[in-house]
Chains A and B, each alone.
Chain A
Amino acid sequence: AQKITQTQPGMFVQEKEAVTLDCTYDTSDPSYGLFWYKQPSSGEMIFLIYQGSYDQQNATEGRYSLNFQKARKSANLVISASQLGDSAMYFCAMRAPEYGNKLVFGAGTILRVKS
């Protein structure tokens, strides 16, 4: 099975609307971490949000929230009130002992915000 799956190669969202980027993961470890990164055209990887497998509440950071559904092994990123500057590639990643505690990345989703 794919370790991290992002099924949406590209997404469009209207400015000021909310958008959900999907991510599912696969690990048998009970302790793991899930990350979302934003990569604009400049190439830098910008850390957005982190969710630990034992965290009881969904992580939130400003306009970013993580919809963590442990039983479904999904960790979708929700961006509220989209801005033009949100246009970028978004990567979901996981770190788990099963994978040597190294970050494993999904294929990414390109998000385009329309004005």
Chain B
Amino acid sequence: GAVVSQHPSRVICKSGTSVKIECRSLDFQATTMFWYRQFPKQSLMLMATSNEGSKATYEQGVEKDKFLINHASLTLSTLTVTSAHPEDSSFYICSARAGNYEQYFGPGTRLTVT
């Protein structure tokens, strides 16, 4: 199956700083990438959808100025959590899809804001 990587797998940052998470499709070109957030023992919540070369579409209630998404190429999307606060601590998962086919998930990034 196709492989999606995320980096870093874990990150700890201080409150008020920004942190960038990378999502890469390693062996296919992803026309669409998705970013999810997951709290412990809860389901995945879609934050935003990004198509290569265009602005991300954010789900209702997700602050676009806080969660900056860039999908600059067909293999790379980044999520930047700006001015992070402890309540932003969560598990962030990206997913990539080529066309209208299967969606492949990255291994996730655990963010802890102290």
Interface residues of chain A, those whose CB is within 8 Å of chain B, are 37, 42-45, 47, 50, 89, 91, 100-103, 105-108, 110
Q: Name the residue on A nearest B38 (C-beta).
A: A43
Contact (Cβ within 8 A) B100 A44: no
Which one, A42, A89, A101, A103, contacts B107 given CB within 8 A?
A: A42
Contact (Cβ within 8 A) B100 A101: yes
List chain A residues, Cβ under 8 A from B85: none
Contact (Cβ within 8 A) A102 B105: no
With the chains together, A110 CA to B102 CA distance in Å? 24
Which one, B43, B93, B107, contacts A108 given CB within 8 A?
A: B43
A-B contact count (CB 8 A): 42
8 CB < 8 A contacts A-B: A43-B107, A44-B108, A45-B44, A47-B102, A89-B41, A102-B34, A105-B43, A107-B42
Contact (Cβ within 8 A) B93 A110: no
Which one, A43, A47, A102, A107, contacts B93 given CB within 8 A?
A: A43
Q: How large is the interface on B (under 10, 10 to 19, 20 to 34, 35 or more residues)?
A: 20 to 34
Q: Does B1 contact A (CB under 8 A)?
A: yes
List chain A residues, Cβ under 8 A from B49: 100, 102
With the chains together, A101 CA to B41 CA distance in Å? 25
List chain A residues, Cβ under 8 A from B107: 42-44
Contact (Cβ within 8 A) B43 A91: yes
Question: Nearest chain A CB to B20's CB is how many angstroms away?
Answer: 19
List chain A residues, Cβ under 8 A from B95: 45, 103
Question: Nearest chain B CB to A102's CB is how many angstroms away?
Answer: 6
Question: Nearest chain A CB to B42's CB is how many angstroms away?
Answer: 7
Which one, A47, A50, A100, A105, contacts B44 given CB within 8 A?
A: A105
Select the residue from A89, A91, A102 with max chain B CB neighbours within 10 A.
A102
Q: List 10 other contacts, CB 8 Å, given A102-B49, A103-B34.
A: A43-B91, A43-B107, A43-B108, A44-B107, A45-B93, A50-B102, A91-B43, A103-B46, A105-B43, A110-B41
Q: Name the residue on A nearest B44 (C-beta).
A: A105
Q: Which of B65-114 contact A (CB under 8 A)?
A: 91, 93, 95, 100, 102-105, 107-108, 110
List chain A residues, Cβ under 8 A from B46: 102-103
